[in-house]
């Protein structure tokens, strides 16, 4: 019995030991499993956080890429930027002037961590800056401008410096897409966007009209034609060694100005304060004695008042006439007897003078008053000239008849020519497009206008005419030359040619004017099929030559744009 109990006791001990060991082993396994689970949970959490950050940054990048955000400047006011001035375009919609967002670069010294390092960066990247002056301003620790009106290149260079102290202040800048091409007529604005000259000033109110900001101001100018005329005029100044020049192309029917060039010109994007008289707008503001182009007015008055006819012979024309203290004569020797037509074609001073005496002072006064020839041009520009007033003394009628002792602006002279050749209707020069119908007063009759056109054509085609170099095939050019000298300095002269074309029914008036041209000794003229070397310095040998070159360039453009050409082309395509 005792043995049995002892065996049972041993057995119980063994069993207890077995179960204890099993529990410990199992518990160890459970603890290891728990640690594994915790580690896995932490890894999963880290992965979740990592991918969440990637997802957030991805959404931010997409958001930035889809929004046009100015990365150069954190100033929220930039997004509220609004333009205050309308665009200016030419007759074809080509952009001439526009407001764009530009920047000034300013410095906030309190935001600079290392001023010495900052100055080194500026010295390396912007050697043109006055570093000593900038250093002095930094010491004052006050906000100041580093550079005003910076360009995009400078802006990017400053931004790449990585200095938060550099502030880009936005402002409205007026840019002119053709720099100096329209400098004398478009004008400029100041830093506050107020017009200070040209179209910008004369139309300042219209250009700042908030209700019209989306509509550009359309001018009558044609950029392509302006470019061609300006280029030819620039070349002529070099060819004839002239100090200046000007040209004007006008629609003879309605007074629209298609091109207006005055040389020398200037880049209106530079905002330079120009005080030198050589930069004067010679076409609208320049006041000159234009010489023999006035002879056309005298002949037109004589025909209009039925004093003579084109074939009326003026007999016994003297070589010179004493008029008060002055001795008046012709530069060339002419036949004693000339028809009225020949007086204008050959450009005889004495012949014209004799016609003026038959016309009388009263009719001349009336003509000048009606044509506005002796007043400032009626053009919406501030830069217009005022002809010099004069008294009708003993010899004024005679000298005025051939364009001496009387002044006007080239614009006014060209406008009167347009009125003479368009059928006699008085027009006013225009710089902006207008679609309103207008009734015109008459300067001369349609009959007289036709007679004048025939004579002006012969000035170009006749062997005795003074403008043969303008006889460009296919354009039927007519016109009149004018050569005048400075009474005080005989070396200063002004050579002018006013042409009209096509002479059967003139649509265009082209004026070319050269200041102080010289003889182009190396130029070989094609004169009526002959090669002639330059030796003379009258308008017929320089201004006429330039006008011919211009008409060759712009003629095809004007022909294609003309209403008659378009109608004919449409009719041919339809048939």
If one compares 183 and 80, the residue with the highest pLDDT of the two is 183
Question: 290-299, 343-352, 471-480, 483-492: which range is least confident on average?
Answer: 483-492
The residues, ordered by sequence, that sit 6+ positions from 136 with a Cβ below 8 Å of its Cβ are none
Q: What is the pLDDT of residues 222-240, one digit of tens each?
A: 999 999 999 999 999 999 9
Given a cut of 60, whether residue 432 has pLDDT beyond it is yes
Model confidence at 378, pLDDT cuts 50, 70, 90, reads: confident
Dump pLDDT digits (tens) for 125-143: 999 999 999 999 999 999 9
Pairwise CA distance, residues 42 & 38, whole Å: 6
Query: What is the average per-residue pLDDT within 402-421?
Result: 96
Decide: 312 and 306 in contact? Cβ < 8 Å.
no
For residue 195, the 8-state DSSP code is B
CB–CB of 95/89 below 8 Å? yes
- Determine the Cα–Cα distance for residues 135 and 116; give it in Å rounded to an integer: 9
pLDDT of 64 strictly over 50: yes
Of 38-52, 328-342, 363-377, 497-511, minimum mean pLDDT range: 38-52
Q: How far apart are the first and last CA of the chain?
A: 143
- CB of 210 closer than 8 Å to CB of 83: no
Q: How do the residues of the chain divide into helix, strand and coil, expressed in percent and rounded to 5?
A: 45, 20, 35
With 80 as the cut, is the pLDDT of residue 94 above it?
yes
Query: What does the pLDDT look like over 359-372, one tens digit per residue?
Result: 999 999 999 999 99
Q: Is the pLDDT of residue 153 over 90?
A: no
- The mean pLDDT value for 316-324 works out to 91
Res 72: pLDDT: 41
Q: With cut-offs at 50, 70 and 90, classify the pLDDT of residue 292.
A: very high
Task: For residue 564, report the phi and psi dihedrals to the nearest 5 degrees.
Answer: -60, -45
The greatest distance separating any two alpha carbons of the chain, rounded to the nearest whole angstrom, comes to 185
Greater model confidence, 307 or 19: 307
* Cα radius of gyration rounded to whole Å, the chain: 42
Four-CA torsion 400, 406, 410, 416, nearest 10 degrees: -40
Q: Is 179 left (phi over 0), alpha (psi -120 to 50) or beta?
A: left
Average pLDDT, the chain: 86
Mean pLDDT over residues 290-311, rounded? 97
pLDDT of residue 18: 41
Residue 81 or 434, more confident:
434
Q: Are 173 and 99 in contact (CB under 8 A)?
A: yes
- pLDDT of res. 37: 67
Which letter does DSSP use for residue 148 in this model?
E
- Peptide bond before 470: cis, by omega within 30 degrees of 0? no
**Confidence at residue 272, expressed as pLDDT on a 0 to 100 scale:** 65
Question: Rounded distance, CA 453 to CA 477, Å?
Answer: 10
Angle between helices 410-421 and 295-304 (to 10 degrees): 30
* Residue 490 vs residue 329, higher pLDDT: 329
Residue 416 in this model has a pLDDT that exceeds 80: yes
* Contact yes or no for 573/566 (Cβ under 8 A): no
Mean pLDDT of 521-525: 91
Question: What is the secondary structure of 535-574 as a DSSP string?
Answer: ---SGGGTHHHHHHHHHHHHHHHHHHHSHHHHHHHHHHHH
In DSSP notation, 245-272 reads EEEEEEETTT-BEEEEEEES---GGG--
Q: d(Cα 106, Cα 164) in Å, to the nearest integer? A: 11
Report which listed range, 75-89, 485-499, 548-562, is most confident.
Answer: 548-562
Sign of CA dihedral 136, 142, 147, 148: negative
Nearest C-alpha neighbor of 432 from the set 253, 218, 284, 261: 218
Number of H helices, E strands in the chain: 17, 16
**pLDDT of 9 higher than 90:** no
Structure confidence at residue 208 (pLDDT): 93
Q: Does the pLDDT at position 77 exceed 50?
A: no
**DSSP structure class, residue 278:** G
Mean pLDDT for 89-113 is 92
Q: What is the mean pLDDT of residues 324-347?
A: 93
Q: How confident is the model at residue 425 (pLDDT cuts 50, 70, 90)?
A: very high
- CA contacts within 13 A on the Cβ side of 195: 23
Q: Which residues, at least 6 apart from 206, have a Cβ–Cβ distance to it below 8 Å?
A: 86, 212, 217
pLDDT at 66: 65
Instruction: Tell me the pLDDT band of 78, cut-offs 50, 70 and 90.
Output: very low
Residue 281 has pLDDT above 60, yes or no: yes
Range with the largest mean pLDDT of 209-213, 295-299, 319-323: 295-299
* Predicted local distance difference test score (pLDDT) of residue 82: 54
| pLDDT over 50 (residue 15) | no
Regarding predicted confidence, which is higher, 109 or 42? 109
For 18-31, what is the mean pLDDT?
50
Per-residue pLDDT at 575 exceeds 50: no
- The reported pLDDT for the residue numbered 572 is 42
> Are the CB atoms for 176 and 269 separated by under 8 Å?
yes
How far is it, in rounded angstroms, from Cα 454 to Cα 489? 36
User: What is the distance between the alpha carbons of residues 510 and 508, in angstroms, rounded to a whole number?
Assistant: 6
């Amino acid at each position: 019995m005792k043995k049995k109990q002892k065996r049972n006791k041993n057995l119980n001990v063994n069993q207890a030991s077995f179960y204890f060991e099993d529990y410990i082993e199992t518990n160890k396994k459970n603890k290891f499993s728990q640690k594994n689970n915790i580690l896995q949970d932490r890894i999963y959490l880290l992965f979740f956080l990592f991918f969440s950050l990637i997802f957030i940054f991805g959404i931010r990048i997409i958001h930035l890429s889809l929004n046009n955000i100015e990365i150069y400047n954190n100033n929220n006011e930039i997004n509220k930027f609004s333009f205050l001035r309308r665009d200016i375009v030419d007759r074809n919609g080509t952009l001439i002037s526009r407001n764009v967002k530009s920047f000034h670069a300013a410095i906030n010294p309190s935001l600079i961590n290392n001023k010495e390092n900052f100055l080194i960066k500026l010295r390396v990247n912007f050697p043109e800056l006055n570093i000593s002056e900038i250093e002095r301003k930094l010491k004052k620790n006050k906000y100041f401008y580093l550079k005003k009106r910076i360009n995009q290149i400078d802006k990017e260079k400053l931004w790449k410096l990585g200095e938060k102290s550099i502030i880009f202040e936005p402002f409205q800048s007026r840019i002119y897409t053709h720099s100096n091409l329209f400098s004398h007529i478009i004008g400029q604005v100041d830093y506050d966007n107020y017009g200070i000259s040209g179209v910008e000033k004369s139309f300042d109110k219209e250009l700042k009209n908030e209700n019209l900001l989306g509509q550009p101001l359309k001018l009558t100018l044609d950029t392509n034609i302006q470019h061609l005329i300006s280029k030819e005029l620039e070349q002529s100044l070099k060819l004839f060694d002239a100090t200046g020049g000007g040209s004007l192309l006008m629609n003879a029917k309605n007074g629209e100005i298609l091109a207006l060039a005055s040389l020398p010109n200037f880049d209106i994007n530079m905002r330079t304060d120009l005080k030198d008289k050589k930069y004067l707008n010679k076409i609208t503001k320049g006041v000159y004695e234009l010489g023999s182009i006035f002879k056309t007015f005298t002949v037109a008055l004589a025909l209009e008042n039925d004093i003579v006819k084109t074939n009326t012979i003026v007999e016994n024309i003297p070589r010179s006439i004493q008029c008060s203290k002055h001795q008046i004569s012709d530069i060339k020797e002419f036949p004693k007897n000339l028809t009225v037509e020949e007086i204008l074609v050959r450009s005889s001073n004495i012949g014209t003078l004799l016609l003026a005496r038959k016309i009388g002072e009263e009719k001349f006064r009336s003509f000048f008053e009606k044509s506005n020839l002796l007043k400032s041009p009626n053009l919406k520009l501030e830069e217009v000239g005022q002809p010099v007033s004069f008294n009708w003394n003993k010899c004024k009628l005679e000298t005025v008849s051939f364009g001496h002792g009387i002044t006007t602006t080239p614009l006014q002279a060209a406008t009167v020519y347009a009125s003479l050749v368009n059928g006699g209707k008085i027009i006013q020069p225009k710089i902006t497009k207008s679609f309103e119908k207008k009734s015109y007063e008459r300067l001369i009759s349609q009959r007289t206008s036709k007679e004048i056109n025939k004579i002006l054509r012969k000035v170009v085609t006749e062997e005795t005419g003074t403008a043969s170099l303008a006889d460009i095939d296919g354009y039927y050019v007519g016109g009149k030359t004018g050569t005048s000298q400075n009474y005080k300095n005989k070396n200063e002269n002004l050579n002018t040619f006013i042409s009209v074309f096509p002479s059967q029914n003139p649509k265009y008036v082209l004026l070319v004017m050269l200041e102080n041209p010289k003889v182009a000794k190396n130029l070989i003229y094609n004169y009526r099929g002959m090669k002639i070397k330059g030796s003379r310095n009258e308008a017929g040998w320089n201004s006429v030559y330039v006008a011919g070159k211009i008409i060759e360039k712009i003629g095809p453009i004007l022909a294609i744009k003309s209403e008659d050409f378009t109608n004919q082309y449409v009719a041919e395509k339809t048939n």
